[in-house]
C-alpha cells in the first residue's frame, strides 16, 4: 500500500510549486519526476507511471514547473526551469534522506533535469532517467540538444519509442552510443507519448526503470 502526500516547493524567487509524493510501503529508491512541456504533474500519464513505479518499490516526487503552476502556455526559459529542478531535488532529498535518489522526467522535464545536472553535478543524484528525450523539434532532425549530456558522468537511461517524431531513432542511437554511462531501451512502434496501437506500455516503462535502478544501486 502506497501513501500519497501533497507538498509545496519554494523557489529562490519565493514562488511556490505544487508537488505530490507517492511512497510505497517498502522503498528502494525515489525518482524526481518532471513533467513534459504540454501537460503538468497531474496528467494521467505522469500519475499512472508514478503508481506503476510504486509497485516496484520506487517512490516518486512529481512537481510542476513555474509556467504550469501559473497556468501559462509557454514553457519556462531554461534558467527558470533549472531553479525548479534544483528545488525539487533538494525537497525530495529532505523528504527521503536515506533513500537513493534518481531524477529525470518526461520529455521537456527530463531535458531540463539533465541540463541542470550537467552544469551542477550532485552527489545526491545517482542517475537520470529520460521518459522520451526530446532530441529535436518534430520534422527538424538534429542532435545539438544532446551536447550537454557529454558532461554528465552518472548513469543515464533513455526510454524511447521507435516512432518518436521528437527523436529520430537513428539519431538517438548515434547520441547514446557516444556516451559511456547510457542504457537505451527501444519501445517498438511507440510514439513520443508512448502510444503503440492499443498496448499499455506503462507497466513495461516502470519495469525498465526499476531494472535500471537495481543495476545502479
Handedness of CA 25, 30, 35, 41 (dihedral sign): positive
- Residues 158-206 have pLDDT tens digits of 999 999 999 999 999 999 999 999 999 999 999 999 999 888 999 999 9
What pLDDT does residue 99 have?
98
- Residues 101-160 have pLDDT tens digits of 999 999 999 999 999 999 999 999 999 999 999 999 999 999 999 999 999 999 999 999
For 38, 43, 85, 181, the CA distances from 10, given in Å and listed in that order, are 22, 22, 11, 32
Share of the chain above pLDDT 90, in %: 98
Question: Residue 53 — very low, low, confident or very high, per pLDDT cuts 50/70/90?
Answer: very high
What pLDDT does residue 140 have?
96
What pLDDT does residue 6 have?
98
What pLDDT does residue 198 have?
85
Residue 47, pLDDT above cutoff 90: yes
Average pLDDT, the chain: 97
What pLDDT does residue 173 have?
97
* Architecture of the domain defined by 3-215: 3-Layer(aba) Sandwich (3.40)
Share of the chain above pLDDT 70, in %: 100
What pLDDT does residue 1 have?
84
What pLDDT does residue 61 have?
98
Amino acid at each position: 500500500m502506497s501513501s500519497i502526500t501533497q507538498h509545496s516547493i519554494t523557489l529562490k524567487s519565493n514562488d511556490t510549486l505544487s508537488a505530490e509524493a507517492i511512497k510505497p510501503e517498502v522503498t528502494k529508491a525515489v525518482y524526481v519526476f518532471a513533467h513534459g512541456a504540454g501537460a503538468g504533474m497531474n496528467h494521467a500519464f505522469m500519475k499512472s507511471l508514478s503508481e506503476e513505479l510504486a509497485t516496484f518499490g520506487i517512490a516518486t516526487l512529481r512537481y510542476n514547473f513555474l509556467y504550469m503552476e501559473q497556468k501559462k502556455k509557454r514553457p519556462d526559459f531554461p534558467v527558470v526551469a533549472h531553479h525548479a529542478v534544483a528545488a525539487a531535488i533538494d525537497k525530495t532529498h529532505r523528504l527521503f534522506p536515506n533513500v537513493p535518489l534518481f531524477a529525470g522526467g518526461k520529455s521537456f522535464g527530463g531535458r531540463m533535469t539533465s541540463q541542470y545536472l550537467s552544469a551542477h553535478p550532485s552527489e545526491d543524484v545517482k542517475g537520470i532517467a529520460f521518459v522520451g528525450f526530446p532530441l529535436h523539434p518534430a520534422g527538424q532532425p538534429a542532435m545539438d540538444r544532446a551536447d550537454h549530456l557529454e558532461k554528465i558522468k552518472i548513469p543515464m537511461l533513455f526510454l524511447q519509442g521507435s516512432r518518436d517524431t521528437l527523436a529520430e531513432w537513428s539519431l538517438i542511437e548515434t547520441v547514446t552510443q557516444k556516451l559511456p554511462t547510457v542504457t537505451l531501451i527501444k519501445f517498438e512502434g511507440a510514439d513520443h507519448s508512448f502510444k503503440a496501437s492499443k498496448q499499455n506500455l506503462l507497466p513495461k516503462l516502470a519495469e525498465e526503470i526499476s531494472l535500471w535502478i537495481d543495476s545502479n544501486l
